[in-house]
Chains A and B, each alone.
Chain A
């Protein structure tokens, strides 16, 4: 693994399937409608990279972006 990861949920694409919250509860939070947002500024703490990718690859709407910094 090279640099640190940063995640972002595209609010136009998220439909509230909540797969990310289930797979990586430390990285995502849900609003009152059940739509997802990244926690904080989206920086993925060391050791949580696999969970970030798991959330990304299970989002049915392809709403999660993972960037390597």
Chain B
């Protein structure tokens, strides 16, 4: 990975966030919240000439207007990059689909991800969490991002798709190439998509002779609205989506939650003493540390919250910034684990609501419950460094913690 990093064209440091923002700037990666507060106080929608032109809404209202407006804003490109790779049909449906193609593509994926389906998967996820903790608990320290929070979603989605959990390192490599490295180096995107296509094609071929009872087979057996099997490209695109969208995101959400609890012993102790607060705490972690920023492409001129928006530009659709808007959330900058009213948009708003939101919530709940049961007392390792992922999905990628005998 270090070779490819050195190939990336460097972006000049930002000196004017209002007119020249850059979500790959190291200060944004480290601590974006004060930047969003500054931008929100200037204008609901700001613009940068970087990334061939891109808007950033920072108010809940502006984010909501764009999320609901599929006429002026397309999902055909959902990641803001230095370049605009050619639009691929069936890139990753339904996340890259617009109406009218969006609804049938999404309805195929919804039934396997209902809350009832997640209840059936929960015992496996609980076992995964304990298998992981068994590997490091005696050490009294670990990098929780590398040893725990990453592997929970990797193994859970591998289990659902019916692919080997041991291939997890491969999945994480592809995701890093697509979501982070490709922002500045398009060849990373092309290479990762080719490798993923070859990988899944192998699994599809195998199932033609040996049918299984997993998500890959579900998609292979699915029919479109005319009763025809799906095109291979749609099956492959949706499999890419499930793998990409199911891992980095929840890895980040669990990691940010543990980071908060390591930093905030009062919340940790309260959650242990009052486990009935877990559901509202999970929603609050989702609000305060929303991992996912999607993108849209402006297709027709319009205005958003009074700001003119012109075609040819991308939009960084910052659900995380919307969720920190004090006009929508009292004490928006505080984490309140028993917050009663919480209409957060961490899983998006409108037709693109995250198809895996029930899976993500279950994984977060189980991963934090099992961690707190086994490791109730832990803190950040002062000798280590917490690092955060860059760009589209934000969460800890190194999270060194001490516990037990080392605490």
Binding between chains A and B: yes
Q: Which residues of A contact B (CB under 8 A)?
A: 15-19, 21-23, 30, 32-34, 54, 57-62
- Can you spell out 27 A-B residue pairs with CB atoms less than 8 angstroms apart? A15-B350, A15-B351, A15-B353, A16-B110, A16-B353, A17-B353, A18-B115, A18-B357, A19-B283, A23-B279, A30-B115, A30-B116, A32-B114, A33-B110, A33-B114, A34-B114, A34-B358, A54-B340, A57-B340, A57-B343, A58-B283, A58-B342, A60-B344, A60-B345, A60-B347, A60-B349, A61-B349
User: Please, how many angstroms separate the alpha-carbon atoms of A23 and B343 in the complex?
Assistant: 13
- CB contacts (< 8 Å) of B115 on chain A: these are 18, 21-22, 30, 34
| Residue from the list B114, B340, B351 in contact with A30, Cβ < 8 A | B114
Size bracket, chain B contacts: 20 to 34
- Closest A residue to B345 by CB, please name it: A60
Q: Would you call the interface of chain A mostly helix, strand, loop, or mixed?
A: loop
User: Please, how many angstroms separate the alpha-carbon atoms of A27 and B259 in the complex?
Assistant: 35
Query: Are the CB atoms of A18 and B358 closer together than 8 Å?
Result: yes
- CB contacts (< 8 Å) of B347 on chain A: these are 17, 60
Q: Given A18-B358, A58-B341, verify A33-B353 contact (CB < 8 Å).
A: no
User: Please, how many angstroms separate the alpha-carbon atoms of A54 and B280 in the complex?
Assistant: 12
User: Please, how many angstroms separate the alpha-carbon atoms of A30 and B117 in the complex?
Assistant: 12
Query: Other than the known A34-B358, A61-B349, what 18 A-B pairs have Cβ atoms closer than 8 Å?
Result: A17-B353, A18-B358, A30-B114, A32-B111, A32-B114, A33-B107, A33-B114, A34-B111, A54-B340, A57-B340, A58-B342, A58-B343, A59-B343, A60-B343, A60-B345, A60-B347, A60-B353, A62-B343
B371 at the interface (CB under 8 A from A): no
Q: Which residues of B contact A (CB under 8 A)?
A: 107, 110-111, 113-116, 279, 283, 340-345, 347, 349-351, 353, 357-358
Closest 7 CB pairs of A and B: A15-B353, A33-B110, A34-B114, A57-B341, A60-B343, A32-B111, A34-B110
- CB contacts (< 8 Å) of B283 on chain A: these are 19, 58
- CB contacts (< 8 Å) of A34 on chain B: these are 110-111, 113-115, 358
User: Please, how many angstroms separate the alpha-carbon atoms of A46 and B316 in the complex?
Assistant: 45
- A51 to chain B minimum Cβ distance, whole angstroms, is 12
- B16 to chain A minimum Cβ distance, whole angstroms, is 33
User: Please, how many angstroms separate the alpha-carbon atoms of A17 and B361 in the complex?
Assistant: 11
User: Please, how many angstroms separate the alpha-carbon atoms of A30 and B350 in the complex?
Assistant: 18
- A27 to chain B minimum Cβ distance, whole angstroms, is 15
- CB contacts (< 8 Å) of B113 on chain A: these are 34
User: Please, how many angstroms separate the alpha-carbon atoms of A2 and B345 in the complex?
Assistant: 33
- CB contacts (< 8 Å) of B344 on chain A: these are 60
- CB contacts (< 8 Å) of A57 on chain B: these are 340-341, 343
- CB contacts (< 8 Å) of B341 on chain A: these are 57-58
